[in-house]
Amino acid sequence: MSQPTPGDGAPSRPGDPERAADLAHMRRAVALAARGRGTTSPNPVVGCVILDARGRVAGEGFHAYAGGPHAEVVALRAAGEGARGGTAYVTLEPCDHTGRTGPCSEALLRAGIARVVVAVADPNPEAAGGADRLRAHGVAVETGVLTGEAERGNAEWLASVRLGRPHVTWKYAATLDGRSAAADGTSQWITSPEARADVHRLRAEADAVVAGIGTVLADDPRLTARPPGAGGSGEAVRAGGSARPPLRVVVDSRARTPLSARVLDGEAPTLVAVAEDADAAELEKRTEVVRLPRRGPYGIDLRALLTELSRRRIVGVLLEGGPTLAGSFLREDLIDRVVGYLAPALLGEGAAALGPAGVATIAATRRLEFEDITPVGPDLRLTARPAPR
């Protein structure tokens, strides 16, 4: 039930077989790239498909983990001599620099690739330039094929480069009338086991899971990633079996996190963000604490928090805080994606899913565009992004 995106769609001319083939192979490359979600950070997710000179698939690959071979290298190894004179479909412009691995542009040239089709130009000035190098050596390069779809799959890394801060996904669960808790404060469980399992998948794909002190005091969550099949009782892992669990971040301006809170259980790393004038001496004995300027209704400078997370090479953040923290992030224009789980239930009163966000009139409404609507068990998962202003 995904929503189409302009610029991603059908061939430009009916019956154009080359254009249709380009879209099909790039769509396959996007699907391959998705296999690296949760294990490549702080690198992007990238997929690659190699065709031989006759247009047959000779090799496929994706970037599986940071420091490992890039997608083009994996696909070229699989293709072998079949790559010579062929075409490479890559979701992100081949890199043109030497980091922990060599330039993919040179690997493509050595393999004798004749044509390269790119979905998204690399916005990182340190790595960009692969397309120009390939063209300079006589390789035909086409860019902008299935760009929207490839960007959605790589949204976290692209935001981190373009915005200079982590990409923020706000996740919430609510009834159909928008309530996240009942009038007596109870909130477990509004949604189904299937929806909660899907949330663990989101956590496993994130670099950090952020919650506010209100959520910690009310629900005492663990905030660990425990996707189905990831291991035994409560093992905190990331997608793909990586040993690096997402960082748990508690936004707690007054250092009220109880020392008995489950986020301090040592199962995964935890960072407590407090205001610079908070008394956090006891907390500092149990976990890492960062002091940030006091600002805004939540008592913490949220942009400073994201800057700190970026310094720690955090690319994607999953915001699971309560309505007050979510409203503060929205007020600061710091939410890049919304994932809502709606249960077919009604409460009529109780806490709203979103708190005050600086919207006083209909004219100031924060408009979104639906990206996906998918049933998850008896619930609905709605995914949306801010609409262009």
Q: DSSP string of 328-347?
A: HHHHTT---EEEEEEES---
* More reliable by pLDDT, 350 or 383: 383
CATH of the domain at 135: 3.40.140.10
pLDDT at 238: 39
Say if residue 94's pLDDT is above 80: yes
Question: Among residues 103, 134, 155, which one ends one of the domains?
Answer: 155
Q: Are 322 and 215 in contact (CB under 8 A)?
A: yes
Cα separation, 183 vs 31, whole angstroms: 43
43-65 pLDDT, tens digit each: 999 999 999 999 999 999 999 98
- Residues 97-148: pLDDT tens digits? 776 677 899 999 999 999 999 999 999 888 788 999 999 999 999 999 999 9
Domain count, the chain: 2
Structure pTM? 0.85
Of 155, 185, 213, the residue at which a domain comes to its end is: 155
Contact 8, 371 (CB under 8 A): no
Catalytic residue set: 72
Does 97 lie in the same domain as 190?
A: no
Alpha-carbon distance 245 to 308, whole Å?
Answer: 18
Tell me, yes or no, whether 1 lies in a domain.
Answer: no
Q: Are residues 68 and 200 in the same domain?
A: no
**Rounded alpha-carbon distances, angstroms, from residue 360 to 192, 356, 363, 364:** 33, 9, 8, 7
- Check whether residue 138 and residue 28 sit in a common domain: yes
Q: Are residue 173 and residue 318 in the same domain, yes or no?
A: yes
Q: Are 316 and 370 found together in one domain? A: yes
pLDDT band at 296 (very low <50, low <70, confident <90, very high): confident
Do 103 and 182 belong together in one domain?
no
Q: How many distinct helices (H) and strands (E) make up the chain?
A: 11, 14
Euclidean distance between CA atoms 177 and 48, whole angstroms: 43
**Is residue 98 located within the same domain as residue 245?**
no
Domain C-terminal end among 118, 137, 155: 155
Same domain? 233 vs 129:
no
pLDDT the model gives residue 8:
52
Residue 300 covered by a domain: yes
For residue 368, what are the domain limits? 165-386
Residues 148, 180 within the same domain: no
Query: 60 and 172 in one domain?
Result: no
Tokens in use for 241? 């079996």
What's phi and psi for 284, nearest 5 deg? -65, -20
Q: What is the mean pLDDT of residues 349-363?
A: 86
pLDDT cut 90: percent of the chain above it: 69
